[in-house]
């Protein structure tokens, strides 16, 4: 059983920083966390050199990276995405699909199973996130409109049964016919029902929350704000997420999808324990700028990566993010003026809680999985440890 001792670190807990701390790892778990030194003579020593020691970052909404996309329908894509993002601090992720045909969803489940069994060098998989295909066509964004449709009860029940408890989250537009019934079914099966790509108004969101929906997918992106119908104004999903305290939100905190003022606004209204940072990264994450593809490499949408974001070829809208989790934390600290402890919490503890894995991930707590990062004051990753194993070291 491998034993590791991390010394001279500024250890980040959910609410404070332990100066000159020591962290012990035994096997796959955290064994001890303390200020000062801990006597452990037979442990391999990693000197943090005064850098921060943090819980691993958890990305609950991610499509790709390193030139690969989960919709490529290859095992290699799953493995390479997990590996490239681990070098940027992601220790756990929820592979996310795009709007597609039922056959593609079933294929994605098969690949998740096979890749998960072989994933030893990258971020761990903590369940699948199905994004679509049950969306409002008017809010399709970069989702392929050819596959957008209303909830089909036979279809989603078949997909969930086929997934054998691997599907942990499904994003849906709650105003669609059948969406409320779907939310109830998702909740009864322990699956997070999330609101996404939607034109819902407050009354529809409230109905959805009362029937199982609990999370707003990429807040502000592809969703309604204040709208006017027949001369009357209605609050949209954005305002609903702020008004309903029980709702969690996730934000693409790259500083572009949401500029600093909106990041600050979200943090002013919602507490860190209700905000999860997400990359929503497509295959261009970790790749040079230029032409790319959103979705399947052969049938997906052509997009352009420029100025740190992916946009549609006609430049009509964003087409996904190329962010990595280290960039999200850096943006929140440097552009949104969020304290480091809170930014890290939104990238670790909060997503772990949303995904229901807080009993084993999300904080540097004795007995939890040894998912640990070492990074400098600019959030440049120096070391990534996943389940007690050093995956990346710079």
Residues assigned a catalytic role: 280
Nearest to 369 by CA among 164, 127, 126, 128: 126
Q: For the CA atoms of 83, 84, 87, 88, what is the dihedral angle to 10 degrees?
A: -130
**In this structure, what token pair is assigned to residue 55?**
């819980």
Q: Which residues contact 104 (CB under 8 A, 6 or more apart)?
A: 71, 73, 97
Q: What is the spatial distance between Cα 192 and Cα 326, in angstroms, rounded to a whole number?
A: 25
Q: Which residues contact 361 (CB under 8 A, 6 or more apart)?
A: 55, 56, 58, 91, 92, 126, 348, 352, 368, 369, 371
Q: What is the spatial distance between Cα 324 and Cα 264, in angstroms, rounded to a whole number?
A: 20
Angle between helices 325-334 and 260-269 (to 10 degrees): 80
How many CB atoms lie under 10 A from the CB of residue 57? 33
């Amino acid at each position: 059983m491998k034993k590791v001792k991390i010394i001279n670190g500024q250890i980040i807990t959910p609410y404070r920083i332990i100066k000159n701390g020591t962290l012990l790892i035994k096997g796959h778990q955290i064994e001890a966390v303390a200020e000062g030194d801990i006597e452990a003579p037979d442990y391999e020593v990693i000197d943090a050199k005064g850098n921060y020691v943090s819980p691993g970052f958890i990305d609950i909404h991610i499509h790709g990276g390193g030139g690969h996309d989960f919709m490529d329908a290859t095992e290699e894509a799953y493995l390479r995405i997990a590996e490239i993002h681990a070098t940027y601090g992601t220790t756990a992720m929820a592979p996310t699909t795009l709007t597609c045909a039922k056959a593609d969803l079933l294929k994605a489940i098969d690949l998740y199973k096979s890749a998960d069994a072989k994933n030893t060098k990258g971020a761990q998989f903590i369940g699948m996130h199905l994004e679509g295909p049950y969306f409002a066509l008017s809010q399709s964004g970069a989702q392929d409109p050819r596959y957008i449709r209303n909830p089909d009860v036979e279809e989603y029940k078949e997909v969930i049964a086929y997934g054998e408890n691997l599907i942990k989250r499904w994003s849906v537009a709650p105003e669609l016919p059948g969406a409320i019934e779907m939310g109830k079914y998702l909740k009864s099966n322990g699956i997070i029902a999330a609101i996404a790509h939607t034109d819902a108004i407050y009354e529809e969101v409230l109905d959805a929350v009362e029937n199982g929906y609990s999370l707003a997918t990429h807040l502000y992106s592809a969703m309604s704000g204040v709208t006017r119908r027949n001369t009357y104004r209605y609050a949209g999903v954005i305002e609903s997420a702020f008004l309903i305290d029980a709702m969690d939100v996730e934000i693409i905190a790259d500083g572009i999808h949401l500029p600093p003022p909106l990041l600050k606004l979200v943090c002013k209204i919602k507490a860190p324990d209700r905000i999860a940072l997400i990359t929503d990264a497509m295959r261009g994450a970790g790749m040079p700028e230029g032409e790319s593809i959103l979705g399947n490499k052969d049938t997906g949408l052509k997009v352009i990566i420029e100025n740190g974001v992916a946009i549609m070829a006609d430049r009509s809208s964003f087409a996904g993010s190329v962010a990595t989790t280290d960039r999200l934390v850096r943006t929140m600290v440097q552009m949104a003026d969020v304290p480091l402890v809170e930014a890290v919490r939104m990238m670790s503890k909060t997503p772990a809680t949303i995904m229901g894995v807080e009993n084993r991930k999300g904080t540097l707590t004795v007995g939890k999985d040894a998912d640990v990062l070492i990074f400098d004051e600019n959030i440049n990753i120096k070391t990534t440890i996943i389940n007690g194993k050093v995956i990346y070291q710079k």
